[in-house]
Amino acid sequence: MPRLLLFCARLPGCLIVVLAISAIAQDASTGAIRGTVSDSTGRRIVDASIALVDAAQGFRYFVTSDSEGQFVFELLPPGEYSARAVAPDMSPQLTPKLHVDVGATTEIDFKLQVGGAKEMVTVTGEQPMVETETKAVSSLIDKRAIEELPLDGRRFTDLALLTPGATQDPRGLTSSSNGDLAFGGIRGYQSSYLVDGADNNNAFFAQARGRYRAPYQFSNEVVEEFRVSSNTYGVELGRAGGAVINVVTKSGSNQLHGTDFYFIRDSAFGATQPFLNFKPRAQQQQFGFTLGGPFRRNRAFFFGGFDQHIFHVPTVVRFLDGSSKVVPQLGQGPLHDGDYEATDQAVVFAAAARLSTLAG
C-alpha cells in the first residue's frame, strides 16, 4: 500500500519534504493477524476462506486455512480491521473490529457452526482475540497517548520517556531540547530510529535525523503510533546497541478528514520567577493542520501536515553577586589576587563594560 507523507518545518523558512513509502516491503512498520478456524467441537477446519478488510481504506486481503486450520495475515499496516471466515456447510462468522499495532500480532479464533437450509451471518458479541507480544521488551505509545498527553514543544519522541528504563542523556540536554534518549544506561547515540520502516538516523552523529538540536523533526499530528523496543527485539529492527524507536505515520482514508491546532505559552499568563525582580517577555506559539483523503477510493490516498513553532524565550544572565554590572578589582601586587594589573586597566574596563551590556 503506497503511503504519502507531506510536512513542512521552519528551519528557517519553509522546507517541504515528500516521502513516498511502500509499506508492502517493510515488515518493521507493520503488524500481523493470525488465528485458527474450528467447528463447535473444536476440530480444525481446513481450506476455510478468511477475508480481512481495512476499515479506513477498504483494502481487502484473502487467505485460506492450512492443514492445521491455521491462517496468518502478515505485513499489515497498523489500523482497524474486520475479518470474516467462511467454510462449506458452515455458517459464516464476522468479527468485531480488530486493531493491529505496529510490531505486534493480534490473534483471533473462529468457531463456526453447522449451517442449515437458511443461515444468516453471525457477528460475535465478545472480542474473540488477544493481543500478543513478541519476546521483545517493548512498549507501544498509541494514538490516544500522542494526541491527549500534554507535551511541551510537541516533540513526540519525548513520550518514549514513559517506557521503563528510558532516561534523558544529560550530555545531549540543551535549553530547548530534552536531548538524546538513553535506555538501560546505554548512551543515547546507540538508539536507532525507524519511520515507516525506513532508516531515520544521522549516520555521522549516530543520532536521529534533525538531532536533538531541532525542537522536533515532524509534528505529532502526522504520527499514528510508535513502539519503543529496548531489548531482545527481532532482526528486522536490529542495528542498535540501545533501543529502537519504530514510528508509523498516518495515512489518508476513504473519508476526507483533517485537524487543526493552536497552542500558546506566554509569560503574561505566569508569575515572575522567584530569583528575578522583573518578568522577561517570553512567548511560544505552535500551530498547524493536517488533511487527508482519497485520490481514488479503495486505491490511493493522500495525507499532509503543516506545523510551525515560534519560540521567543530569553536567557536571563545574572552575575554571582546578583548585580548586572561587572566591576573589575585592581590587583594589589604580584602575590595578591586581582582582576587586572594597573597597566591593563583601560583594556579590562572596556571589556567589562561590554560584558555588562549583555547582562539582564
Reported as a single tens digit per residue, the pLDDT across 324-354 is 677 788 877 666 677 788 888 899 889 888 8
Distances (CA, A) of 220 to 140, 154, 237: 15, 6, 23
> Smallest Cα–Cα separation from 10: which of 253, 219, 273?
219
Domains of the chain: 2-26+136-312 (2.170.130.10), 31-132 (2.60.40.1120), 317-360 (no CATH)
**Which pLDDT does position 123 carry in this prediction?**
54
Average pLDDT over residues 210-232: 80
129 compared with 307, residue with greater pLDDT = 307
Asked whether 236 and 28 are in contact (CB, 8 A), the reply is yes
**Which pLDDT does position 236 carry in this prediction?**
73
72 compared with 334, residue with greater pLDDT = 72
pLDDT band at 20 (very low <50, low <70, confident <90, very high): very low
- CB-count exposure of residue 81 (10 Å: 0-12, 13-18, 19+): buried
Q: Identify the residue whose cell numbers are 551590556.
A: 357
At residue 55, does pLDDT exceed 60? yes
DSSP codes joined into one string, 56-112? TT--EEEEE--TTSEEEEEEEPSEEEEEEEE-TTB--EE---EEE-TT-EEEEEEEE
36 three-state secondary structure: strand
CA 266, CA 283: separation in Å to the nearest integer?
Answer: 4
Q: What confidence tens digit (pLDDT) does each residue in 136-147 have?
A: 688 899 989 998
C-alpha cell at 96: 468485531
315 compared with 281, residue with greater pLDDT = 281
Distance of CA 221 to the CA centre of its chain: 10
337 compared with 285, residue with greater pLDDT = 285
Q: Identify the residue whose cell numbers are 522577561.
A: 280
> Smallest Cα–Cα separation from 163: which of 117, 254, 227?
227
CA 330, CA 340: separation in Å to the nearest integer?
Answer: 5
C-alpha cell at 135: 519476546
CA 248, CA 255: separation in Å to the nearest integer?
Answer: 20
Average pLDDT over residues 269-290: 87
C-alpha cell at 335: 602575590
pLDDT band at 5 (very low <50, low <70, confident <90, very high): very low
**Which pLDDT does position 304 carry in this prediction?**
93
**Which pLDDT does position 295 carry in this prediction?**
92
Q: What confidence tens digit (pLDDT) does each residue in 157-188 have?
A: 888 888 888 888 776 666 555 667 888 878 77
* Mean pLDDT, the chain, integer: 79
Asked whether 212 and 179 are in contact (CB, 8 A), the reply is yes
**Which pLDDT does position 311 carry in this prediction?**
86
Please give the share of the chain, as a percent, with pLDDT higher than 70: 79
At residue 275, does pLDDT exceed 90? no
Asked whether 310 and 265 are in contact (CB, 8 A), the reply is no
CA 71, CA 93: separation in Å to the nearest integer?
Answer: 15
Beta bridge partner(s), residue 244 = 192, 229
